[in-house]
Amino acid sequence: MISIIILFEVTKTSNITDVKMVVLRLKHQRYMTALLSSTTILLLLYFQNSLLVFTYGSYGFISKEVPCECSICVTDRENSNWFSERYDPNIPLLLNSTNSVLRSNVSRWWKELQLNAGNYTEVVDQLFPLFPDKEHYSDTGPDRCRTCAVVGNSGNLLGSKYGPLIDFHDFVIRINKGPTEGYEKDVGSKTTHRIVYPESAIDLDNSTHLVLLPVKILDIQWLISAFTTKNITQTYIDVPSTIKADKDKVMILHPEFIRYVYDNWTEGHGRYPSTGFLTLIFALHICDEVSVFGFGATSDGIWHHYFEKTLTSFESGIHAGKFENETINRLQQENKILMHKGWT
């Protein structure tokens, strides 16, 4: 094609200098065409691997990287000022050797929750040779859409037939002793994480992460003992001396995370947050879409666990149940969670 154009141009020129000029100009055009083609390909590859949305600003369209591949991402803080004011993406979620030194205000607050505070540094030194010492859930990005089901223990799960829907999620996070056996139709059978403290611990299968909620240093000592000496059998009540669980899947919630939930999400109400509420906020930090099951009262306004008849209350002297419940409802209003109440 270029040779034809050159021939055409030569017929229009009167000397060899003009011919050289034409050839140089055509070579320059070919170079620019190749450069533009390469740039276009690179841009296409970039856009393919980095999902972008465009918002109109005062100077035209401005690109913004989307935080996940889901249609609605929990970590997108721009669509809710209320959420953005409370959510801290940099808070340490789980203890490891690189973040185990507590800030003075966190250490002081955490130790006030316990009657007999042990030597935290000595306990931590024993902890990480036994259990995984690494950063977890740092794989966030525009290519990930991790769906999570947070399953509470409310009686509103009975008759809900949520089981298959719950099991469909990537992560299924359960709380304390909530059983699955015999309740699979309503609560599902899959469990990827179970958040417990010594007084609520149960045996787990090898597919489940044991996530310890340490309200006191003794809780961490119990965890160590349960996998080694088995000598701790009592805290403020009798506790199991050992537990069946995969020690390579053990995690410990960071005391600073507990304090953060207390400060930012319960706003200082109660003595410390409930296990269920801590679990929900934990899910907001490791998941891209969060569905919530088994929270709140039944359709008759009754509070009880689906696996027992004893009535419970969302309000107690320790936890600010009413405030937590209001915050959970606000999270739904802000499209940060999807609530399933078992009734309409």
Residue 340 annotated as lining a ligand binding site: no
d(CA 276, CA 294): 10
Q: What's the residue count for the chain?
A: 344
Residue 272 annotated as lining a ligand binding site: yes
Q: Provide the phi-psi class of 192: left if phi over 0, else alpha when psi is between -120 and 50, else beta.
A: alpha
Residue 335 annotated as lining a ligand binding site: no
Residue 276 annotated as lining a ligand binding site: yes
Residue 270 annotated as lining a ligand binding site: no
Residue 176 annotated as lining a ligand binding site: yes
Residue 114 annotated as lining a ligand binding site: yes
Using only the alpha carbons of the chain, give its radius of gyration: 29
Give the residue numbers annotated as catalytic, written as ranges: 272, 319
| 56: three-class secondary structure by DSSP | strand
Strands 52-57 and 60-65: antiparallel
| 130: three-class secondary structure by DSSP | coil
Q: Considering only CA atoms, which of 264, 333, 328 is closest in space to residue 296? A: 328
Residue 319 annotated as lining a ligand binding site: yes
Amino acid at site 206: N
DSSP-assigned states of every residue in 218-283: HHHHHHHHHTTT----BSSSB--S-----GGG-EEB-HHHHHHIIIIISTT-SSS--HHHHHHHHH
Residue 79 annotated as lining a ligand binding site: no
Could you tell me which residues are annotated as the binding site? 114, 153, 176, 236, 272, 276, 296, 305, 319
Could you tell me which residues are annotated as the binding site for substrate? 114, 153, 176, 236, 272, 276, 296, 305, 319
